[in-house]
Structure 1
Amino acid sequence: MKSPFSFTRRAFVKKSMIATAGLPLASSFANSQDKESIITATNTVPLSWLDTQYSSLFKGTTWGTPWPKGQLKKGTELTLASNENIIPTQTWPLAYWPDGSLKWTAHAISKNEKLSEKIQLKIGKSSKPATSLAIEDSAESIKIDTGKIQCEISKNGQTLITSLKSAGKEIGQNGKLVLSVQDKVEGGESFRIDTFEGKINKVIVEQSGAIRAVVKIEGTHENAQKKSILPFVVRLYFYTEAESIRMLHTIIYDGDENKDFIKGLGIRFSVPLNEPLYDRHIRFVGENKGVFAEAVQGLSGLRRDAGRVALDAQIGGKTVTQIPDNVLKNIQYIPAFGDYTLFQGTPDAFDIQKRTKTGYSWVQSAYGGRASGTGYLGTPKGGLAFGIRNFWQSYPAQIDIKNAHTALGEVTLWLWAPKAPAMDLRAYHDGMGEDTYEKQLNALDITYEDYEPEFGRPFGVARTSELQIWALAETPSNEMLTDIAQQIQEPPLLVATPEYLAGVGIFGSAFSLPDKTSPKKQVIENQLDFHFDYYKKQIDQRRWYGFWNFGDVMHSYDQDRHVWKYDVGGFAWDNSELSTDLWLWYYFLRTGRSDVFRMAEAMTRHTGEVDVHHIGRFSPLGSRHNVQHWGCSAKQLRISTAANRRFYYYLTADERVGDLMREQVNADRTLRTIIPGRKIGQKAPLSDPKGEYASVSFGTDWGALSAAWLTEWERTENPQIKAKLLNSMRTIAEQAHGFFAGGAIMELATGKYQQEDAKKISVSHLSAVFGLAEICAELIDVVDMPIFEKAWLQYCQLYNGTAEEQKAVLGESLKKLNLEQGHARLTAFAAMRNKNPELGKRAWKEFYAGEGGIRKPSMQITKLAGPKVLNPIDEGVGISTNSVAQWGLAAMQCLAFAGKELE
C-alpha cells in the first residue's frame, strides 16, 4: 500500500514552496494570530510581579518586554501605569525586528509609592522621576548621587568604591576586592598563602539615565610582587531614590590549578564607627526570618541591671541614653566583641562565632541551617547592610565583621570562605593511560567520558555572583533586615503575563499556554508539571549546590546505588546536554511560575559561566557533560550556545549575559583549531594558510553560531552580522540535500558555506536537539527566505519519515536514527508550516511511541530511607535529564504547533 506521505523530491520541493509562499511570516503561527490583533488594538502589555510580592523596601528593578513585529517604531514613547497612576520609567531598546520595529524593550523603575500589584505598560508619553540620578564622570572618578546615597567610584588603583555616604554622612569606604591564594593543598610540606587585591584596569559608565545607571569595572587581582591572577568584571547598579547598590561580580580562572588554590575570594568595605561601643550593632539574618542581633558591648545579662530603658534601646538598635551609674562606672570591664564571623560550610549548616579582637579565642555564638547571607554593621546613626545572593546555595561562603570595637570597622563578604578548604580545581584522575584517540574512544565506550590530555583544565571558566550593599541612616529593625534579605535573595522583577508572551510571537512561538481542556492534554500538562517539580526537589534532596555547581543538575541516574551518577565519566553534571536550559525556559514562558524562573535563572548563570571557557585556547567553547564541569575534552558550541542565554537576557536586560552572548559571535574561528569531530575523522580545511575557513556542521555548530548572529543582529542591527547569518542560511539551503549534507567548509569572513559533494548525506541525532530546532523556527519567522524554509522543512519532515519517503527525496534511506520522540517537534513544526493535519497526527504518533525518549511517562515516586540510602529521597521511574528535557520540549512544541491534531 502506498504511504499517504510518500512523495518525490520534486513534489516535496513544489509543495514546500507553495506552502511557504502562502503563509504571512509575521503571523503564521496559529497560536499567535488572535493575541497579536488584541495587542495591536489595545497597545497595552499586562505585567505582574514574578514572586507576587511587593515590598515597601522595593528600590528598583529592570525587565524586558517583547512586541509584535511592526507594532512599535523606534522612538515610540512608552509609559507604565499602576492603577491608572503613571510611574516614571526609563526605557531603551534591546532588540529590533528586521523591519526596524522594536522587538524587545528594556525598562527600569525605582521606588514609587503609587506602585501596586496591577501594572500595565502602554504606548504613551513617559514621565520623569521627581529626583533623577546625578552622575559626575571625571578623569579620576565617577560620582553618583541617587538622592539617598552618594557613591564615589575610583577609576584607578585598588579601591573600587572610595566612599559611600547616606545624606552626606560616610557609611562605607575603601571598597575593594580581596583574594587569598594557597600554593599547596595536601602533603606534609608547609604551604604559603599569598594575598591579592583587585586592581582596576578600566571603568566606564555603561548606562546613564534618570532612573538607572550602570558602572562597569574591569581589572585583575594583583599581589605585592605585581603578580596578576583572576581577571574580574564588576558591575554596579544604581536606582534613583535607592539606598542600595546592586553588584554583579564575575571572576575568570586563569591560574595553574595545580598550584594556585583559591583560599578566599571576597569584597571588603570599611565602616566608620564613632558611637559608644554599646551603640554599635551587629546583625546576621539566618533562616526563616531568624536574626542574630547583638551589640559590640552588651548591656544585658550583667550582674548589675542596666535598666529597661537602656536594654530596650540597645536591643532595638536605638541610641542608649540612660545607663545607671552602677553600670556606667565599670562599663570598661564589659568585654567588647569586635570580630564576628558567619561561616556557611555546607548547604545545611552555618555557625556564628565572635571574639574580642585578633589574638584571642573565638566564642561559639550560634548555629543554624541555611543563612540568608545578609547582615549589618553600624550604629543608630547609620551603617552598612549587605548580602550575598544565593548564599547557602553557593557554599562555602562567609561573612566577616572585624574591628567593630575601633573607629573603623571592616566587613568582608566572602564568596569563597577562607575557613573552608582551599578551592581544588585539579583533574579528578590521572588520564589512565589514554594517550591516543583509540584509547580515548574505548574509555568513552565504558564511562561515557571524552578525555584528552590537557583538555580538562579549568583555565578560562568563570563564576558570577550577585551582592547588594545598603547604606542606611540608622540600625534597621529585625523585621526590616529580614525584608532586605528577601529583596536580596529574590530581587523583585516584572514580567509580561504568559498570555501576552504566548501571543506576541517570540522565541519561535514554540510554546502555548497550559491547556487541560481534554484528557490527553491534561495528562501531558500534569507530566510537564511533575517533571519540573521532581527536579526542583532533587536539587534539594541531592544537594546540587556549591560555588561551582549551583544551577546545574545531574545527567543520569544509577538505579542500583540509588544515586545520580556523580562519579561516572560523562554521566555526571549535565552541562546543558540535550537542552535542559531550553526546557526550563519554555516551561516558564507558558506558566509564569516564579520557582521555574529562579531555577532557570540559576542554570543560565551556571551554564553560561562555569561550563564555558572565556579565555584561552578553548575560548569561547563550552565543555560537554562530565564529573567536573570543565573536564570533558569535547569543547563545543552546543554548550556555549547563545540559544540558552537569550531568554534571561531579554526578560531581564542583564548586561553580563549580554556579554556572554557577544563572546559567541566569532566562535567559528575557534573551530579551526579545536575541531569538534577530530576523533572521528573531521579535519581542518586543506590548504588554508591564512586561517580563513573552518569545518562547521549544520547542526550543533551552526545552530549555536546562528543563535549568536541572530541575537547580535537584532540587538545592534549590524549589517555585517546580518549578511553573515543570511549567507550561511542561503548556502546551507543551496546544498544538494540541504541540512542532510551535515556540514561543510565555511568562509569565516562571510559565513558562506562551500558546496559539498552532491552525493554526501550525513545526519546526526544530536544536530537538532541543542537549540537548532528552536532557532530555525525563529529564523523562519524573522527572515523571509523561502529556500531556507524549504530546506529546514525537508529536514523536519524526513528525519522521522519512513525509509521510502527518505529514499524518494534523498536517493537513500537514513537508516535507524535516534531520539525520534524529541524530533516529533520537528514534524509538528513542518505540519504547522505546511498546514498539513496528517503530518500533525504523525508528530503525535512519534511522540507517544517514545523511541529514544520516554516510552511510558510516569509520575510514580518511590520513597527511600535508611538504612537503604544515606538520606531520605524520592526516586522516580526511568528518569534521565536528557529524556526529560527532550520529552518536555517535544510536548510543549507539539502542543503549540499541532495541538489541534492531538485529539
Structure 2
Amino acid sequence: MPAFPSRRGFLQATAAASLASTLPQPGQAATANVPTTTTPVSDTTLRWLDGAAPARFEGATFGVPWPRGQLRGKPDFKLGNHPVQSWPLAFWPDGSLKWTAHALAGGTPPGPLTLGTGKPAPGGLSLTQSATQIVISVGDLQWTVPTRGTVLIEQATRAGRVTMQNLQLVALRQDGAEPELAGKTARQAFSSQVHTVTVEQQGPVRAVLKLDGTHRATGDGQSRDWLPFSVRLYFYAGTESVRLVHSFIWDGDPARDFIAGLGVTAQVPMSDATFDRHVRFSGEGVGVWGEAVRPVTGLRRDPGQAFKDAQVAGRALPPLDGMARPVFNGLKWIPEWSDFSLSQANADGFTITKRTQPGHAWIDANGGTRSQGLVYAGGAAGGVALGLKDFWQRAPVRLDVRGAATPLATVTAWLYSPSAPAMDMRSYRAVGGMDTHEKEIEGLNITYEDYEAGWDSSVGIARSSELQLWVLGGTPSHQVLSDMAEQVARPARPVLTPQRLHAAGVFGDWDPVDASTPGRKLLEDRLTLQLDQYLREVEQHRWYGFWHYGDVMHSYDADRHMWRYDIGGYAWANSELSPDLWLWMSYLRNGRADVFRLAEAMTRHTGEVDVYHLGRFKGFGTRHGVQHWSDSSKQPRVSNAAYRRIYYFLTADERVGDLMRELLDSDADIAKVDISRKLARSAAPPQTDLPGVGFGTSWGSWIAAWLAEWERTGNTRWRDKIVAGMQSIGGMQRRWFAGGAPYDAKTGRFAGPGDVVQISHLNAVFGLIEMNSELLTLVDVPAYRHAWLEYCRYYNAPKAEIAALLGRDPGGRNLADTGSRMTAYAAFHERDRALALRAWREFFASRALKGGGTVRRISGPAVLRPLQEQASISTNDSSQWGLAAIQNLALIGDSLDEAARAAGLLP
C-alpha cells in the first residue's frame, strides 16, 4: 500500500497555490488556481463495520472518496467475483470523481473486500415496467409493484407460488388523548394510498423505487388524506428480501388527531397443515422464540421424536402414518393458535402473547428485555419475515401475526404500537401568563426556553423507519432467523478505514487517531473518554422512543443526577453546537461501529424530527427544548445540511439526500420567520427591505446544502451562490467581524458597508469552521480567504491586538477553547509557530483536561439506577471541545507536546 498523503501536506499545497489567485466574477470558474490533483491512492480495501463478516448478507451500498484528479468519466468497478453496481456520487471542481457509490449483491458475504477498476461480475436482478406495474426479478423470486393504489407491493412469488401479497401501510387515528375515568375516545383506520411510483435506480445489482402518497380513511361517505409518506423499496441481487425506508410527515391537528398506531402489514397465504405452520420472534441477543400454530410437543402422549424434532426445526412433519396412534387420532383436539403478538412497551421489556382466535383470551407466552425486532409467519411451503430496525430503541413498538390458522395470515410491524397510549403531539405547556414580549424575555431568562404561543407547533416534523421483509421458501431454523434478526438490528456495512478516507482529502481538517506522542495520547484518551460517556448516557438515561432516539440532552443537573429534561432550553440538544459533526468527525478518525451507529441515529433524528418539512416553518429547525419542537426559535442552524452530509457520502442514502435538497431554497424564506426576535438589537436596523442574516448561524448553514448540491450535480448555480456570499463578506469594511448583514436571497449577496462590529460566539460553532475548511480548498475567493484568516487570527487575540485592528475591544469573544481551532487554522495557513502555540494555550484554558473529565459511580437511593456520572458534562462543551481537539491535532499537532509541557500537562 502506498504512503497516504497527510492532510497537512494537502492543505499546504492548497494554501500555496492560492497565493497568486485572482478573484472570480459570478459565472466564471472559481477554482482555477486551486490544486487539481493530489497523490492518488491505489488500494481501496474495505472492512466490515463490526469487524467480522456477517453470517448473512442482504446487500449494502457504500460511498468511496477519491483524491482530486485521480478518476474521471464513468469507470467500471469490480469487487473480486462479487456482483457490484457503481455510480458517481459527487465531483471535484475539476470534474474528476470525488465520491462513487457502490451496491454489493447479497448472498454469501464477499471477501476480501477490495474495490478496483474493471468489469464487475454479473448481478442477476432485472426490472420491467408498464403503465400499471413494475416487476423486479431476483432468481425465482418476483416482486410486483403497482404504479398506483392502496398497496406498496401487490405480491411476491417464489417459483410461481404467491408467498406474500398486499404489502401496505396502516395507521390508526384517535380523536382524543387517552380517556380518564369515564371518558371515551374513538379510533379511525387509515391505509396507504400511493399516488406516484418513481424508478430511481435500476441495474443488475440494485433497484430502487420511491413510492409517494398519503394515508387515507374512507367511510360514512367521507374520506380524509393524512400523514403524507414516501417509501423507498431497495431490491438487491442475491437476496430474498426487500429493504423499506418509510418516511412520513406529521400534518394533523395536535388537539384532535392522535396517532394510535402506525404500521406496515402484509398477507401470507397459508397452505400447509396447521402443525406445519410456524411463528417466530427474535428475542434478546441471538435468542429466538418459535412455536407451531398447532403444537405436537409437550402433549400428554408422545408423537415420536422425529415429529417433535421436525416441528421444533420448522420442517414439515414426517408422514403422519408413522406418528403414535393416540396422538394421530387426537390431533383435531389440539388448539390452533392463530394470533401472536410481541409487544415492546419500552426499552426495557417485551412480552409475547397468543390466542386461539378473536373473541377469546390472550395467553402469556414469554417475555424478555430487548427484542431484535423480527417476526416470521409461514410454513413448509413458504412464509414471510418482517423486521424493524432500532426496534426496542424506538419503543413502544409491536410485531403481530394474525390469522395464522386461517388460509391468509397477516404480519404487521407496528412502528408505533396500538397497545401504547396514543401519540400526543400537543405542546407540553400552556401560555401560563406569558402573553407579552417582555414576559417571554423574563421566561427565557429563567428557564432558557424561547417560548411564544403558536410557535411550539409539531406540525410539519417527520420521521423515518427502516424495515426488512423476506419472502422465504420455508420456515427458517432458529439459527437462520437469528442471523436475519442481526441484519435487521445491525445491517452489515462495508466501510473504509480512516486512513483510506483521509487519503482522499475530504471533509476538511482531521486525521486518523494517533497516540504516538505523549501529547497526542493525552488528547486521544480524553476524546475517547468523552465519546464513551455519551454512548453510556444514552443507555443510563434511556434516550429512547419513537421521536427521541438519536438525540442527546443539552445540559446536566448534578444535583438531581439527571439531565435537565424538563427545564426549557436545557433539555433536548437538537444539534446545538454541532454534536452531529463531533460524532461524525470522531467516526472518520476512529472507525468505531458504536460511534457510527450513534451518529447515524442522530442524523436520522435531527434531520427529520428537529426540522419542519411543510408549513410556515418549512426548512427551519427548532432550537433545543423540552420537546423537539417546543422552543419558538426556528433556526437554519438546526436544519443545517452540514449535519447530514458526511452520512450521505459515506452511505449514498437517498432519504438523507432528499433532506439536504429540501434546504436549497430555504434562504428565500428567511424574511418570513424572524429568527432573532427575542434578541436585543445592537445597532439601528439598516435602511433596507432585506432581512438581516448572520454570517455563521444562517449563511454558514445554507452553504452546506449548496456545496452538497454542487458536488452531487456539478451545477455551478450553487457554487456561484456560495461565491457571491463570500465575495460580499470579503468586500465589507469589517469583513467577518461585521457578524451579519442584510441578505438578498435572489443573488446570494450581502448588502451594506458592513462597518459595524458585531461579534457572536455562536457564529462559527454550527459547522461554519468545517465548511470553510473545505470551501477554501474548492473555490478561490482571495478577499474572503483574507477575511476568514483575519477572523481566525484575531477572534481570540489579546485585547490590545484586536483593539488595534478594530479600533476598540469589542468584547463578546466567548468559547476561547472552541476558538482555538480558528487560531490553529490561521497558524497553519500562515505558517506561524508562535500562533500555533497560542492556539494550544487557548485550547488548554478549557476545564476538560483539568479534572472536567472525572467519572464517578453513583448508586443507592440517590439515583434511579447506578450511574457512571460525569458531573460537569455538557453537550455544548463536549461537542466543541471534541471538534477543536480534532482540528487542532490535524493542523498544529507537531507543536502539541511543546505546548502541553509549557502548560504543565506533561512532564
2:110 aligned residue (97, 103, 115)? 115
Maintained 8 Å contact 1:19/1:834: no
> Match of 1:90?
85
Q: Does 1:125 align with 2:123?
A: no
CA distance in 1: counterparts of 2:494 and 2:44, whole angstroms: 11
Deviation at 1:532, TM superposition (A): 0.5
> Match of 2:71?
72
CA distance in 2: counterparts of 1:757 and 1:725, whole angstroms: 18
> Match of 1:195?
189
Amino acid at match of 1:288: G
CA distance in 2: counterparts of 1:397 and 1:730, whole angstroms: 52
Q: Does 1:294 align with 2:287?
A: no
1:104 aligned residue (84, 99, 104)? 99
> Match of 1:10?
none
2:709 aligned residue (703, 709, 712)? 712
> Match of 1:652?
651
Amino acid at match of 1:625: H
Q: Identify if the C-alpha distance between structure 1 residues 561 and 297 changes in structure 2 by more than 3 Å, giving closer, same or farther.
A: same
Maintained 8 Å contact 1:149/1:242: no
> Match of 2:882?
888
Q: Identify if the C-alpha distance between structure 1 residues 686 and 384 changes in structure 2 by more than 3 Å, giving closer, same or farther.
A: farther
CA distance in 2: counterparts of 1:528 and 1:382, whole angstroms: 50
* Map 1:738-757 → 2, pairs under 5 A: 738-757=735-754
Amino acid at match of 1:502: H
Q: Does 1:420 align with 2:412?
A: no
> Match of 1:867?
861
Deviation at 1:352, TM superposition (A): 0.4
Deviation at 1:87, TM superposition (A): 3.1
> Match of 1:609?
608
Count matched residues: 867
* Map 1:507-526 → 2, pairs under 5 A: 507-508=507-508, 510-526=509-525
Structure 1 SS opposite 2:281 = strand
Structure 2 SS opposite 1:680 = coil
Amino acid at match of 1:634: S
CA distance in 2: counterparts of 1:78 and 1:761, whole angstroms: 53
Q: Identify if the C-alpha distance between structure 1 residues 855 and 314 changes in structure 2 by more than 3 Å, giving closer, same or farther.
A: closer
> Match of 1:21?
19
CA distance in 1: counterparts of 2:108 and 2:570, whole angstroms: 51
> Match of 2:5?
none
CA distance in 2: counterparts of 1:527 and 1:440, whole angstroms: 39
> Match of 2:209?
215
RMSD (Å) for aligned C-alpha atoms: 2.1
CA distance in 2: counterparts of 1:166 and 1:805, whole angstroms: 76
Bigger CA drift: 86-95 or 195-204?
A: 86-95
* Map 1:258-269 → 2, pairs under 5 A: 258-269=255-266
Deviation at 1:44, TM superposition (A): 2.5
> Match of 1:777?
773
Maintained 8 Å contact 1:28/1:833: no
CA distance in 2: counterparts of 1:613 and 1:846, whole angstroms: 38
Bigger CA drift: 333-342 or 424-433?
A: 424-433
> Match of 1:825?
821
Amino acid at match of 2:267: S
> Match of 2:721?
724
Deviation at 1:359, TM superposition (A): 0.5
Q: Identify if the C-alpha distance between structure 1 residues 28 and 607 changes in structure 2 by more than 3 Å, giving closer, same or farther.
A: farther
Structure 2 SS opposite 1:194 = strand
CA distance in 1: counterparts of 2:698 and 2:718, whole angstroms: 17
> Match of 1:278?
275
> Match of 1:804?
800
Structure 1 SS opposite 2:861 = coil
CA distance in 2: counterparts of 1:286 and 1:67, whole angstroms: 42
CA distance in 2: counterparts of 1:671 and 1:66, whole angstroms: 34
CA distance in 1: counterparts of 2:448 and 2:564, whole angstroms: 11
Deviation at 1:17, TM superposition (A): 10
CA distance in 1: counterparts of 2:687 and 2:638, whole angstroms: 27
> Match of 1:204?
198
> Match of 1:342?
342
- TM-score computed with the length of structure 2 as normaliser: 0.93
What CA deviation, in whole Å up to 9, does each residue of 1:296-330 have, x standing for no partner?
00111222221111111111101112333322222
CA distance in 1: counterparts of 2:76 and 2:806, whole angstroms: 52
Q: Identify if the C-alpha distance between structure 1 residues 139 and 299 changes in structure 2 by more than 3 Å, giving closer, same or farther.
A: same
Deviation at 1:813, TM superposition (A): 1.9
> Match of 2:505?
505
> Match of 1:813?
809
Maintained 8 Å contact 1:723/1:750: no
CA distance in 2: counterparts of 1:840 and 1:22, whole angstroms: 25
Deviation at 1:902, TM superposition (A): 1.0
Amino acid at match of 1:158: T
Deviation at 1:20, TM superposition (A): 4.8
Maintained 8 Å contact 1:150/1:165: yes
Deviation at 1:61, TM superposition (A): 0.7
Q: Identify if the C-alpha distance between structure 1 residues 273 and 136 changes in structure 2 by more than 3 Å, giving closer, same or farther.
A: same
Maintained 8 Å contact 1:390/1:489: yes
Maintained 8 Å contact 2:214/2:225: yes
> Match of 2:903?
none
Q: Does 1:839 align with 2:835?
A: yes
CA distance in 2: counterparts of 1:685 and 1:152, whole angstroms: 60
Amino acid at match of 2:776: I
1:902 aligned residue (882, 896, 901)? 896
Maintained 8 Å contact 2:276/2:292: yes
Deviation at 1:59, TM superposition (A): 2.4
CA distance in 1: counterparts of 2:486 and 2:140, whole angstroms: 21
CA distance in 2: counterparts of 1:818 and 1:731, whole angstroms: 26
Q: Identify if the C-alpha distance between structure 1 residues 867 and 566 changes in structure 2 by more than 3 Å, giving closer, same or farther.
A: same
Q: Identify if the C-alpha distance between structure 1 residues 665 and 27 changes in structure 2 by more than 3 Å, giving closer, same or farther.
A: closer
> Match of 1:4?
none
Q: Identify if the C-alpha distance between structure 1 residues 813 and 610 changes in structure 2 by more than 3 Å, giving closer, same or farther.
A: same
CA distance in 1: counterparts of 2:327 and 2:549, whole angstroms: 50
Structure 1 SS opposite 2:823 = helix
CA distance in 1: counterparts of 2:376 and 2:840, whole angstroms: 57
What CA deviation, in whole Å up to 9, does each residue of 1:46-102 have, x standing for no partner?
21111112234212110001111111112233332xxxx343321111111111111
CA distance in 2: counterparts of 1:255 and 1:868, whole angstroms: 41
CA distance in 2: counterparts of 1:617 and 1:19, whole angstroms: 45
CA distance in 1: counterparts of 2:698 and 2:691, whole angstroms: 11
What CA deviation, in whole Å up to 9, does each residue of 1:6-32 have, x standing for no partner?
xxxxxxxxxx999950799999999x9
Q: Identify if the C-alpha distance between structure 1 residues 29 and 499 changes in structure 2 by more than 3 Å, giving closer, same or farther.
A: farther
- Percent sequence identity over matched residues? 44
Structure 1 SS opposite 2:569 = helix
> Match of 2:625?
626
CA distance in 2: counterparts of 1:283 and 1:113, whole angstroms: 24
* Map 1:384-533 → 2, pairs under 5 A: 384-508=384-508, 510-533=509-532
Maintained 8 Å contact 2:192/2:216: yes
Structure 1 SS opposite 2:438 = helix
CA distance in 2: counterparts of 1:505 and 1:209, whole angstroms: 30
Deviation at 1:114, TM superposition (A): 7.6
CA distance in 1: counterparts of 2:108 and 2:414, whole angstroms: 35
CA distance in 1: counterparts of 2:855 and 2:168, whole angstroms: 49
Amino acid at match of 1:100: G
Maintained 8 Å contact 2:33/2:780: no
1:763 aligned residue (745, 756, 759)? 759
Amino acid at match of 2:352: I
Q: Identify if the C-alpha distance between structure 1 residues 546 and 194 changes in structure 2 by more than 3 Å, giving closer, same or farther.
A: same
Structure 2 SS opposite 1:234 = strand
Structure 2 unaligned blocks of 5 or more: 1-13, 23-29, 898-907
CA distance in 2: counterparts of 1:398 and 1:764, whole angstroms: 47
Maintained 8 Å contact 2:796/2:820: yes
